Amino acid sequence: MSISIKSQREIELMREAGKILATVHEELEKMIKPGISTYDIDKKGYELIKSFGCEPSFLDYEGYPASICVSVNDEVVHGIPSKNRILKDGDIVSLDAGVIYKGYQSDAARTWPVGEISEEAARLIQVTRESFFEGIKYAKEGCHLHEISAAIDEYCRSRGYGIVRDLVGHGIGKELHEDPQIPNFKQLRRGPKLMAGMTLAIEPMINQGTYKVNFLDDGWTVVTADGKLSAHYENTVLVTKGEPEILSLNK
Ligand code: MF3
Ligand code: CO
């Protein structure tokens, strides 16, 4: 395994990619309402990404047929947008998007409420987001990769949630998926030492019930095995000697 260290120039390009992606998510959030289809979200996402001079990295990635992964309720990740899938009051919806700017990638996901959602659903979204911030406390030079994993695991597990094991975070840069893999659950080994200039996509996928998931016949959609809700929160993060820099989140 070799984890690339980005140069100042590469970091600048990834900052730009991240800013654009953060803005794409902010714009998509505005359209989340009962009555819109997951296709509408994808279409808007494609247009936004193109309008910023970027390419949608997911489109045609290993044959994925859209620009945005739109995963509703018990769908964990990689939901395929469809004109027939209409968001309704009380749903939760996870949007995962990636952009390429001048050859450099950024990857980020958010889970949003649709209309009025239950307290339990809101709590799941909140804890998933918070677990990301617990994890990145260890995304700094001198820490070990699996300190991030353990922090996410402990935060979610102690609150009774299931941590998805079959999908993990990843290094990112010129490629969407680079070394290292970043599990969201505790590891036996402490993992590689982190160094300034590493760029990581950290992405807890957290279930209300069991951690177990199933893969649907469409070849993409991942769902919870028990049909309960799942939430996703992801950002592209730059490791530094001090505080990590969250590239795909606007201040
Ligand atoms: N965002 C996903 C990840 O973090 C990638 C989506 S794969 C795609 O790994 F095929 F849907 F694009
Ligand atoms: Co990712």
Which atom of ligand 1 lies nearest, measured to the CA of 69?
11
| Mean pLDDT of all residues in 95-113 | 99
pLDDT tier at 168, thresholds 50, 70, 90: very high
199, two tokens: 């760029």
Residue nearest ligand 1's atom 8 by CA: 58
Beta carbon of 69 within 6 Å of any ligand 1 atom = yes
CA distance 241 to 67: 34
Residue nearest ligand 1's atom 1 by CA: 96
CA distance 125 to 19: 23
pLDDT for the residue 251: 80
pLDDT for the residue 119: 98
CA distance 30 to 114: 11
Cis peptide before 180 (omega within 30 of 0): yes
| Mean pLDDT of all residues in 80-94 | 98
| Mean pLDDT of all residues in 109-115 | 99
Give the closest residue to 48 by CA, choosing from 71, 23, 15.
23
CA distance 5 to 205: 26
pLDDT for the residue 10: 98
Query: Which residue of 60, 96, 100 sits with most ligand 1 atoms within 8 Å of its CB, as the best mutation to test the pocket?
Result: 96
86, two tokens: 């209409």
Helix (H, G, I), strand (E, B) or coil at 62: helix
Beta carbon of 110 within 6 Å of any ligand 1 atom = no
Q: How many CB atoms lie within 10 A of CB 13?
A: 20
Beta carbon of 119 within 6 Å of any ligand 1 atom = no
Which atom of ligand 1 lies nearest, measured to the CA of 58?
12
| Mean pLDDT of all residues in 50-77 | 98
- Across the chain, mean pLDDT equals 98
| Mean pLDDT of all residues in 218-243 | 99
pLDDT for the residue 27: 98
pLDDT for the residue 70: 99
Task: Check whether 1 has a pLDDT greater than 90.
Answer: no
DSSP 112: E
Q: Per-residue pLDDT tens for 174-229?
A: 999 999 999 999 999 999 999 999 999 999 999 999 999 999 999 999 999 999 99
pLDDT for the residue 20: 98
| Mean pLDDT of all residues in 36-59 | 98
Task: Express as a percent the part of the chain with pLDDT over 70.
Answer: 100
51, two tokens: 């309008």
Q: What is the pTM (predicted TM-score) of this model?
A: 0.98
HSE-up of residue 166 (Cα within 13 Å, Cβ side): 14
